[in-house]
């Protein structure tokens, strides 16, 4: 699955339905923090209304008021690698090439 631009893959989806009182401050701060850390965000309502990219103004959009909303997230590969390093993941990350005879080999 991809963002509406057809280029960026959807890595995570956050589905939520919040009362109007929570939308203005807490949700804006949450998505702003994600956005500042390099996460691309596209927001779509449950009726399939055209998706929009996240901005501070989108928080006040009419479809976010008391309706289920889906926030699609894309994290760039280099950002995922930084997080893996920070969390001290022990599994080596490498690409696997497929040979013409169907056997796998390391690069």
CATH number of the domain that residue 33 is part of: 3.30.1340
- The answer to whether residue 7 sits within a structural domain is no
Is residue 11 classed exposed, middle or buried when 0-12, 13-18 and 19+ CB atoms within 10 A define those classes?
middle
Q: Is residue 2 part of a domain?
A: no
Token pair for residue 75? 């994290």
- What is the spatial distance between Cα 67 and Cα 93, in angstroms, rounded to a whole number? 40
Would you write out the chain's pLDDT as a tens digit for each of its 107 residues? 888 888 888 989 988 876 666 556 777 788 888 888 889 988 887 776 666 666 655 555 555 566 788 889 999 888 888 888 888 876 665 666 655 555 545 44
Domain extent for 69:
12-105
20-to-24, 57, 87 alpha-carbon distances in Å: 7, 15, 35
Q: Is residue 5 part of a domain?
A: no
- 74 located within any domain: yes
Residue 47 CB contacts under 8 Å (≥ 6 apart), including other chains: 63
Does 100 fall in a domain? yes
When divided into structural domains, the chain yields a total of: 1
Task: Tell me, yes or no, whether 77 lies in a domain.
Answer: yes
């Amino acid at each position: 699955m991809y963002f509406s631009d057809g280029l960026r893959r959807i890595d995570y989806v956050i589905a939520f339905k919040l009362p109007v009182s929570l939308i203005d401050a807490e949700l804006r701060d949450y998505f702003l923090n994600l956005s500042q850390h390099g996460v691309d965000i596209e927001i779509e309502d449950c009726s399939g209304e055209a998706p929009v990219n996240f901005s501070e103004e989108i928080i006040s959009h009419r479809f976010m008021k008391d309706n289920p909303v889906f926030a699609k997230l894309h994290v760039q590969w280099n950002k995922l690698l930084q997080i893996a390093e920070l969390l001290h993941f022990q599994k080596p990350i490498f690409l696997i090439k497929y040979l013409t005879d169907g056997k796998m080999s390391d690069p």
